Amino acid sequence: MTDNLKQQLKALIIDKLGLEDITPADIGDDTALFADDGLGLDSVDALELGLAIQKAYNFPMENDAQTLRDHFYSVNTLAAWIETKQGQAHAG
């Protein structure tokens, strides 16, 4: 995974969700995005983040809620998923 993609995702999370009190450096690559001991994002944040990622990386979201929860667990899982989706788009 590229560090550049992870930094882009952290900046996107902060920008799109209005998290002015934190910087990309404050978000660990493995920090849980939706757990209380992580960033503590909620379902509205998940929707906004999903739409922002869909727009920024130009691919549709999957309909399987559990799969999406797994992908949206942390910056690392998001980056891995985006790289996989981009690889599929280039291969197809």
Residue 60: which CATH number? 1.10.1200.10
Cα separation, 16 vs 8, in Å, equals 12
pLDDT value of position 60: 81
Query: pTM for this one?
Result: 0.89
* Distance (Å, whole) CA 31 – CA 39: 7
Q: Is residue 80 part of a domain?
A: yes
How many structural domains does the chain have? Answer: 1
d(CA 80, CA 74): 10
Does residue 4 lie within any of the structural domains? yes
- What three-state secondary structure class fits 17? helix
Residue carrying structure tokens 């209005």: 18
Q: Does 92 map to a domain?
A: no
Give the pLDDT confidence score for residue 32 in this predicted structure. 97
| 44 is a domain residue | yes
Q: Which domain holds residue 57?
A: 1-86
Q: For every one of its 92 residues, what pLDDT tens digit does the chain have, with 9 covering 90 and above? A: 589 999 999 999 999 999 999 999 999 999 999 999 999 999 999 999 999 999 999 988 777 778 888 999 999 999 999 999 888 766 66
